[in-house]
Structure 1
Amino acid sequence: MRSKWRKAKLALGLNMCLYVPETADDSNSPSVRSSNGASSTAVRPTTPTPSSSGLRLSRSSSKSQSKKTCAICLMAMKPGQGHAIFTAECSHAFHFHCIAANVKHGNQICPVCRAKWKEIPLQSPNPISKSNPLAGGRSRDDARMATPRRVQPQSSTRLDGSRPDSSLFHGPEPAIFNDDEVLEHHHRSIMEQQHSVSGSMEVRVYPEISEVAKSVSCKDFAVLINLKAPPSAAKSSSSSSRAPVDLVTVLDVSGSMAGTKLALLKRAMGFVIQNLGPFDRLSVIAFSSSARRIFPLRLMTETGKQEALQAVNSLVSNGGTNIAEGLKKGARALIDRKYRNSVSSIMLLSDGQDTYAVTSPNGSCPRGMDYKALLPIEIGNRKNNGNWFPVHAFGFGADHDASNMHSISENSGGTFSFIETETVIQDAFAQCIGGLLSVVVQELSVKVECVHQGLRLGSIKAGSYRVNACPASRTGIISVGDLYADEERNFLVNLDIPVAGISDQMSLLKVKCEYRDPVSKEMITSRNSGEMMILRPQVTAGRTPVVSVEVDRERIRLRAAEAISEARVLAERGDLAAAVSRLETCRHVLSETMSGRAKDPLCTALCTELRETQERMASRQVYEASGRAYVLSGLGSHSWQRATTRGDMSETTRVLQSYQTQSMVDMVNLSQTMSFGNPNSDSSSSLPSSQRNLRQALSFPARPARGDRRKG
């Protein structure tokens, strides 16, 4: 009777994925019949070989471990008795034989917290021999349960009909990164057919003053050229009417990124992944002492996003910092690809100095050395057969090398952002992709041509943009490149104006823009309305000329940027007092200008920036910790006339974002209101199912409460 009762309990336990310990009465009954009549061998406790999934042999003798209870069989997980313990990614632990049986019946989620697992205990392809001492006397079939296997995403196919591959970020790295996912040409052709240009480039020209007496010649007469990109035709980042993006993220996972830094980086990457569209592609490069591509260039369909999230979630921190190697692999991901989206870019984040590539003969790491020689030729060479792409660099914390990160971005045509506090990583990424997902103009060049026979170009102040002037100083070409939707550029042209003849008017300039539409691939030529002219009266009757507000605003912007650059040089020499004095003088001059007296918003923002820069040069310690990075980020922003993240994005620094476009603002607002910490919160109930699934897949920490996050 007792033997029959034992058999009934054992059969019930197998059907419910439970383990019933064997008693002495059952020593002659190794197998029982299940409900369907099949023979089942009783699963005994096993001691498999350790694996990276969290499977380990319990050797601890601590009281806390002895008190743990398996959530499946409700029996204690005691050490030292040959019981193998499986610890899942969600940190819950079970007897290996219990959870293996559970998974065998089709369950791939944690019985306790319902988290979906990437790795599960499953049968090994190579059975363990009975003679193997680690097998503990198990049969061949029992020993096969020892090896975990990575879970395949449940989504069945991609757009191209291929099955998801679980070895995308764990398999061997190819020699050539030409395994990028094929673009959907059918969908792309439909997108191009439906695309309609929402507008053309707006070109405006403003003379310094509207009239100059005939008898007067002017040297360095200022003319402002204002360009504004057309608005975006896309209603959202996933709209098929915008230019698709090939984005490569190069992420620092060195030992200093351990803990909260890495967790928040994963959360920020989750935000990026969620906001890419199905025609965008993403690749992920991780670097520490060396670099590795952990995720190839894949379309961000729902399946692609799930795979990308798995790759990001697998990141662990250790080792040194080899930025140059990470950038080389990031560049290869774009150089070796078979197919190309319209927009290509690299996002680089690091919190430390390159401890491998940037060394002098004596082994030290000199600050500010030219980093360009260490980079791939495609980074910084804009004429390399269309392989040029910008690097948007993010310096994280007080220990990163701001000088070299700034050098990387400047040479490539990208931006350098200073992330002062770890909670700002996601907002900084959001601002960047808000721009990248709204590119409406590519390969923009601006041709400036003198009209009047006696005119000559003095100079063209274009920041970091390349200017080519003809030998006769009659024409100049500014190479601008890409523009985001509604983005503006201002260039100040100085002319030498001669004495006028008999005419009462003088034609000064003609401005012509040529650019490529990134969706239709068409080259578009945009001209301003007619020629820019000024009056040349006989006399000005003693009237005081009225200076153009637009020209005055551009002059004070350039003056502030010049003062910050000069202050940086003084600070690097160690003369912080002179640097602060230079900034204070400039702030006083700006307040006395026409724009300053009129409380112009741009002038107010520039004065705020100058005051903030002064505070970050208060001492050598403050300058080393945050001042240098803050200054370089600001100089790059002014030089490219593009928004960057500076400091902690608090209310004080937010007023400095005078180059933000609406798409950037919208993306940052989305980042600041989105919480990944509670997938079941009410705020996620209104999202589409695909976005809710992505939130539930993100095992990242909740967004900290916003407030004053500045470091003291």
Structure 2
Amino acid sequence: MKSNNGEAIFTAECSHSFHFHCITSNVKHGNRVCPICRARWKQIPINKSTSRSKSNINFRSLSNHDPYLILQGLSPQQTQSNRDVPSLFQSPEPPIFDDDEHVNPKTEQESVSNGTIDMKTYPEVSSVARSFHFNDFAILIRLKAPVTKQNRNAPVLLDLVTVLDISGSMTGTKIALLKQAMGFVIQNLGPLDRLSVITFSSSARRLFPLRRMTETGKQESLQMINSLVANGGTNIAEALKKGAKVMLDRKFKNPVSGMILLSDGQDTYTNFSPRRNGLNNDQNIILPDCNVQIHTFGFGMDHDANAMHFISEKSGGMFSFIGDENVIQDAFAQCIGGLLSVVVQELRVEVECVHHVLKLKSIKAGSYRVSIDANGRSGLIEVGDLYAEEEREFLVTMDIPVDESCDEMALVKFKVNYTDPIMKTTVTAGGNEDVMISRPETTAGEQMVSIEVDRQRNRLRAASAIAEAQVAAERGDLTAAKAVLDDCCEKLAGSVSACAGDRLCLGLVAELNEMKERMASRELYESSGRAYVLSGLSSHSWQRATARGDSTEETSQIQSYQTPSMVDMVNLSQTMCFSMSPSSSMVKPVVGNSSGKKSR
């Protein structure tokens, strides 16, 4: 609702605008269809329960207030005594979101170093005969983040913005579960962590600025969350802009920042889906550049999985699929379990050839940004953040030429640079040890391929097959998509690591088979297959855990990227739920039952 020269203009969720007094006469008898495009409206510009006509309201005097008040036929003064309208609608938002609470400056004096990254390297084989030319020789580097030594007196501090869908489709159980999940998030943030909440339906609104989650902050935040009501359309684009604005305008910054976006529907205001009929239309999505990872959650069977995956992929975040509504709290728990345990930031991996004849052929790193210099002698992988005890594996390939002059050959050396988010210092590790192979005159028999290298090849092979199958499925060829996954399963089953009983390989095969089952029909693919596939692709591309489908035992067996911090937070979620106290509007913790499952 906007004022235009003193006359109210109503814009419906289909984006068509009308004079308020004209459209109210059209819908007062229950007509919810747009006169122009015939779209059925979920939100109409009249409330039958209001005794007096909306057209008698002075819209010029209300033009600075939230449209919610106008749609309900209430003045700002009337809302003071109306408990159904949250107090957050009583004042306009500031033009600049620089009203965030101050961060705690004392934490730097209490900081304790987390230690350094553990680095290991594995050549494909240990020796190559001098007279043999080895094409695509692979070298694996494995990085493992240190165990966190932080405690609640010296934590890595988080700025978290949650962007939550409260459109009409979230009515009922969905919004109740969302409130419960947000209650869990709020209760598990520390007093120095900061939270801001953006809600969106037909428009987007900041509920409150970034505030510290002290006991008072938690109480007020929970009250605001509990007051939410589902109605209206779905405007994801505006919500993302507002979330980014909170991050960009803030005066102060905690060391770690993250955004969570949850939606159960399609954007009804923007041509937001990046894929139509198998074709890329990425120009339809303009993401706000706030340099913050956006972790997206597709809720239920009607969300736009392509758009949600695109948002997360472009921002460096993860896309999770919440097929079972009851596991939304577990999905949020896994996400914040990671964000609250960041021990490495701005990680960069440098690789340099040692022997003068060698050149890098490729660096396989999934979605991470990779560069190789013009002469092929060095390369760089930009990794970013790592959670405590989180691992990353990257595969470097090169050709090993014939060389009759040496008994040993130094191939490459690796070095990492990163920031310790607690100490605020730059750390450099590695670069002193060369990856070596022997060059004997001959090699006796067939050499054993490194299991570690083979595992990584299998991971990359599976990720590539998932991406190829997804493209085929989007163009409507489910038969071809399933054939791609079948072929990959056969190759995985015959690999060295599969023959050795490697759990990752067995899990990849189980995952690909699950994807095939969700491609049994077009209807099944549209309802859950697409989201399941894209969530798996996100997980393997970034080597980070996502929530996928539901919390069944079969799904958990292929969750190979979970960190101990994530596991601990999910376990806490599964033994605790949050319920509305009958005597107040507060969400309060309730201990779970003896079976370890949540009390629903």
What's the TM-score bracket when you normalise by the shorter of the two chains? 0.7 to 0.9
Does 2:248 correspond to 1:335? yes
Per the TM alignment, residue 228 of structure 1 is displaced from its structure 2 partner at its CA by: 0.7
- Residue 142 (structure 2) aligns with: 226
Per the TM alignment, residue 698 of structure 1 is displaced from its structure 2 partner at its CA by: 0.5
- Residue 486 (structure 2) aligns with: 584
| Structure 1 segment 175-190 matched on structure 2, within 5 A | 175-185=95-105, 187-188=106-107
What letter corresponds to residue 663 of structure 1 in structure 2? S
| Structure 1 segment 340-489 matched on structure 2, within 5 A | 340-358=253-271, 369-371=280-282, 374-378=285-289, 387-489=290-392
Give per-residue Cα distances to partners, 1:220-260, cap 9 Å, x unaligned: 1000011111111134xxx1323100000000000000000
- Residue 276 (structure 1) aligns with: 189
CA distance in 1, matches of 2:593, 2:298: 21
| Structure 1 segment 693-708 matched on structure 2, within 5 A | 697-698=586-587
Partners of 1:203 and 1:528 within 8 A in 2: no
CA distance in 2, matches of 1:181, 1:373: 35
Partners of 2:145 and 2:344 within 8 A in 1: yes
- Residue 675 (structure 1) aligns with: 577
What letter corresponds to residue 565 of structure 1 in structure 2? A
Q: Secondary structure of 2:469's match? A: helix
Does 2:417 correspond to 1:514? yes
Partners of 1:264 and 1:700 within 8 A in 2: no
Does 2:115 correspond to 1:199? yes
- Residue 657 (structure 1) aligns with: 559
Partners of 1:515 and 1:524 within 8 A in 2: yes
What letter corresponds to residue 246 of structure 2 in structure 1? A
Does 2:81 correspond to 1:148? yes
CA distance in 2, matches of 1:217, 1:374: 47
CA distance in 2, matches of 1:571, 1:367: 8
TM-score, L = length of structure 1: 0.70
CA distance in 1, matches of 2:137, 2:120: 17
Q: Secondary structure of 1:675's match? A: strand
Q: Secondary structure of 1:508's match? A: strand
Q: Secondary structure of 1:676's match? A: strand
CA distance in 2, matches of 1:367, 1:394: 22
| Structure 1 segment 604-615 matched on structure 2, within 5 A | 604-615=506-517
RMSD over aligned Cα, in angstroms? 2.9
Larger RCO, structures 1/2 (Cα 8 Å, 6+ apart): 2
In structure 2, relative to structure 1, the CA distance for the partners of 1:487 and 1:257 (3 Å cut) is same
- Residue 239 (structure 2) aligns with: 326
Q: Secondary structure of 2:317's match? A: coil
What letter corresponds to residue 567 of structure 1 in structure 2? A
In structure 2, relative to structure 1, the CA distance for the partners of 1:286 and 1:652 (3 Å cut) is same
Per the TM alignment, residue 596 of structure 1 is displaced from its structure 2 partner at its CA by: 1.1
In structure 2, relative to structure 1, the CA distance for the partners of 1:366 and 1:280 (3 Å cut) is farther
In structure 2, relative to structure 1, the CA distance for the partners of 1:627 and 1:359 (3 Å cut) is closer
Per the TM alignment, residue 655 of structure 1 is displaced from its structure 2 partner at its CA by: 1.0
Per the TM alignment, residue 370 of structure 1 is displaced from its structure 2 partner at its CA by: 3.8
Q: Secondary structure of 1:227's match? A: strand
CA distance in 2, matches of 1:376, 1:675: 34
In structure 2, relative to structure 1, the CA distance for the partners of 1:298 and 1:499 (3 Å cut) is same
Q: Secondary structure of 2:577's match? A: coil
In structure 2, relative to structure 1, the CA distance for the partners of 1:402 and 1:501 (3 Å cut) is same
Give per-residue Cα distances to partners, 1:354-411, cap 9 Å, x unaligned: 1101169xxx987875456543441xxxxxxxx4100000001111000010000000
- Residue 559 (structure 1) aligns with: 461
Give per-residue Cα distances to partners, 1:474-495, cap 9 Å, x unaligned: 1000000001000111101101
- Residue 215 (structure 1) aligns with: 131
CA distance in 1, matches of 2:227, 2:560: 38
CA distance in 1, matches of 2:593, 2:284: 40
- Residue 500 (structure 1) aligns with: 403
Partners of 1:444 and 1:479 within 8 A in 2: yes
CA distance in 2, matches of 1:707, 1:230: 29
- Residue 5 (structure 1) aligns with: none
- Residue 94 (structure 2) aligns with: 174
CA distance in 1, matches of 2:588, 2:112: 40
In structure 2, relative to structure 1, the CA distance for the partners of 1:365 and 1:545 (3 Å cut) is closer
Per the TM alignment, residue 170 of structure 1 is displaced from its structure 2 partner at its CA by: 4.2
Per the TM alignment, residue 579 of structure 1 is displaced from its structure 2 partner at its CA by: 1.6
- Residue 619 (structure 1) aligns with: 521
Per the TM alignment, residue 417 of structure 1 is displaced from its structure 2 partner at its CA by: 0.3
What letter corresponds to residue 348 of structure 2 in structure 1? S
- Residue 72 (structure 1) aligns with: none
Bigger drift between 341-350 and 593-602 goes to 593-602
Partners of 1:245 and 1:281 within 8 A in 2: yes
| Structure 1 segment 240-255 matched on structure 2, within 5 A | 240-255=153-168
What letter corresponds to residue 488 of structure 2 in structure 1? C
CA distance in 2, matches of 1:369, 1:357: 16
Partners of 1:266 and 1:700 within 8 A in 2: no
Q: Secondary structure of 2:320's match? A: strand
Give per-residue Cα distances to partners, 1:323-349, cap 9 Å, x unaligned: 000000000000000000111111000
- Residue 666 (structure 1) aligns with: 568
CA distance in 2, matches of 1:705, 1:581: 45
- Residue 225 (structure 2) aligns with: 312
In structure 2, relative to structure 1, the CA distance for the partners of 1:577 and 1:374 (3 Å cut) is closer
What letter corresponds to residue 114 of structure 2 in structure 1? S
Partners of 2:165 and 2:263 within 8 A in 1: yes
Q: Secondary structure of 1:182's match? A: coil
CA distance in 1, matches of 2:515, 2:214: 43
Give per-residue Cα distances to partners, 1:83-107, cap 9 Å, x unaligned: xxxxxxxxxxxxxxxxxxxxxxxxx
What letter corresponds to residue 623 of structure 1 in structure 2? Y
Partners of 1:390 and 1:409 within 8 A in 2: yes
Per the TM alignment, residue 678 of structure 1 is displaced from its structure 2 partner at its CA by: 8.2
Per the TM alignment, residue 530 of structure 1 is displaced from its structure 2 partner at its CA by: 1.2
Per the TM alignment, residue 588 of structure 1 is displaced from its structure 2 partner at its CA by: 2.0
CA distance in 2, matches of 1:459, 1:369: 26
Bigger drift between 422-431 and 501-510 goes to 501-510
| Structure 1 segment 82-161 matched on structure 2, within 5 A | 148=81
Q: Secondary structure of 2:481's match? A: helix
Give per-residue Cα distances to partners, 1:70-93, cap 9 Å, x unaligned: xxxxxxxxxxxxxxxxxxxxxxxx
Per the TM alignment, residue 571 of structure 1 is displaced from its structure 2 partner at its CA by: 1.2
Structure 1 stretches lacking a partner, 5+ long: 1-124, 127-143, 151-165, 379-386, 681-692
Give aligned-pair identity as a percent: 58
Partners of 1:630 and 1:647 within 8 A in 2: yes
Per the TM alignment, residue 528 of structure 1 is displaced from its structure 2 partner at its CA by: 5.4
What letter corresponds to residue 526 of structure 1 in structure 2? A
Structure with the bigger percentage of strand? 2
What letter corresponds to residue 394 of structure 1 in structure 2? F
- Residue 45 (structure 2) aligns with: none
In structure 2, relative to structure 1, the CA distance for the partners of 1:555 and 1:500 (3 Å cut) is same
> Alignment partner for residue 295 of structure 1, among 204, 208, 216?
208
Per the TM alignment, residue 548 of structure 1 is displaced from its structure 2 partner at its CA by: 0.5
- Residue 544 (structure 1) aligns with: 446
Partners of 2:278 and 2:475 within 8 A in 1: no
Q: Secondary structure of 2:81's match? A: strand
Per the TM alignment, residue 296 of structure 1 is displaced from its structure 2 partner at its CA by: 1.1
What letter corresponds to residue 439 of structure 2 in structure 1? R
CA distance in 2, matches of 1:519, 1:358: 42
